[in-house]
Amino acid sequence: MSRIKEFNLPDLGEGLTEGEILAWLVKVGDTIELNQPIVEVETAKAAVEIPAKWAGQVRSIFHPEGTTVEVGTPIIAIDTDPGAGPIEESTTGAPADALPTPSAASLAAVEVAPAEGAVEPGLIGGPAPGGRTAVLVGYGPRTTAAKRRPRKGGAPAQVSAAPAAPVQAAPAPVAAPVPPAPAVNGSGRVGGLVLAKPPVRKLAKDLGVDLAALTGSGPLGSITREDVQRAASGTPAAAEPLTVAAPATAVASFGADREQRIPVKGVRKLTAENMARSAFTAPHVTEFLTVDVTRAMKALDRLRERREWRDVRVSPLLLVAKAVLLAVKRHPMVNSTWAGDEIVVKDYVNLGIAAATERGLIVPNIKDAGRLSLRELADAMTALVQTAKTGKTSPADMSGGTLTITNVGVFGVDTGTPILPPGESAILAFGAVREMPWVHKGKVKPRLVTTLGLSFDHRIIDGELGSKFLRDIGDFLADPEAALLAWT
């Protein structure tokens, strides 16, 4: 059995087809152990470290950092028995146990789009004369060797370095003389013609002014309306030397040198595909509710003061998550999926929490969040957010979500109209908590207020169900203690 084994990029879950090599954690010649992380790969969902399948010594790395490779492509070769000595060579001079040559996929399947059928000759991307490929302009570079035109009066061109009979060069075609560009003089004339716009010419004709007798004061000596009017009134124009003045301010530039092109890949690519698919598949409806959350914020303050909660991260988002979980129990149809011929209602809630990371927006979820106590929910949310910010969220943690919360309030935004993650029927936007004037017990007082925005799939959730679900969330946030007593 061969000592050299190729390690292929594995499928990291959820049917991923490719991944980008972010960083190699080993180099050629390193001795590695079984399950030692060897490479960090960014898939369409997360950045993950991949462990080695074998112990041994790294013999070759097939793809550099920054390369996107397909699942199943060899990325590294490992000598599984480096202590057995050098690899013996065969009688042909090649090593008997030579390093396996990467398959065609490992050499050419990087960022290659699948074929969509043959392209007719002459069309963009199709074959063209001379073995070239038709592009937008011309036919691209030639695949044959270039032939140099023989110099006039010089030695005949040689086809190869080997001696051969001289080839009589055809006489080079004589280029047609290029006429010199017309000169612009100080009188606003180009090759004897007067520079003036049609409206100026008409004005001169109406006033009886001979344009040929004027000296233009406009750009490049062109004649302006003022020049014609001065000539008609008899006022001489001040003599000015013809100069092309530099602009007083910098000319606006809109070229490619002031543009930035960011490749769409990884998390951002998946997010774009999911959002576009959801926005044009599920009919979205969004409702809003503004809530006085003063009592809820005071309840959080009391919770933080308890001894067993002093080391726990307590935030308003925790109460929102609890409100959503309790409201789902009262309206289970909200936690469902449209499956074409049927609606799948789920008895478990995999609660997604949208998180903004350096690689883009991701939505990890807390599995079966409805079974957790408030303390367990707080710990799970803290771990979820910290893992997301470090970029270590696994694909499994971002799969199988059933209902999502997006906390736009952390950016100072009041609310929004969120787009549903694919496969989910509802998503709640939690806005900023602000001190605002509010009518409380018949008087206008400063109160802590927030706005909720609920988007839902109208194929599953009608207006009544969506409104009741949102109203229950608002009732809990308005008075969480009373809601807990009434609902549990």
Q: What is the 3-state secondary structure (H, E, C) of the chain?
A: CCCEEEEECCCCCCCCCEEEEEEECCCCCCEECCCCEEEEEECCCCEEEEECCCCEEEEEECCCCCCEEECCCEEEEEECCHHHCCCCECCCCCECCCCCCCCHHHHHCCCCCCCCCCCCCCCCCCEEHHHEECCCCCCCCCCCCCCCCCCCCCCCCCCCCCCCCCCCCCCCCCCCCCCCCCCECCCCEECCEECECHHHHHHHHHHCCCHHHCCCCCHHHCECHHHHHHHHHCCCCCCCCCCCCCCCCCCCCCCHHHCCCCCCCHHHHHHHHHHHHHHCCCCEEEEEEEEECHHHHHHHHHHHHCHHHCCCCCCHHHHHHHHHHHHHHHCHHHCEEECCCCEEECCCCCEEECEEECCEEECCEECCHHHCCHHHHHHHHHHHHHHHHCCCCCHHHHCCCCEEEECHHHHCCCCCCCCCCCCCCEEEEECCCEEEEEEECCEEEEEEEEEEEEEEECCCCCHHHHHHHHHHHHHHHHCHHHHHHHHC
Select which of 63, 284, 440, 458 is catalytic. 458
Instruction: Mark whether 458 is an active-site residue.
Output: yes
Active site residues: 458
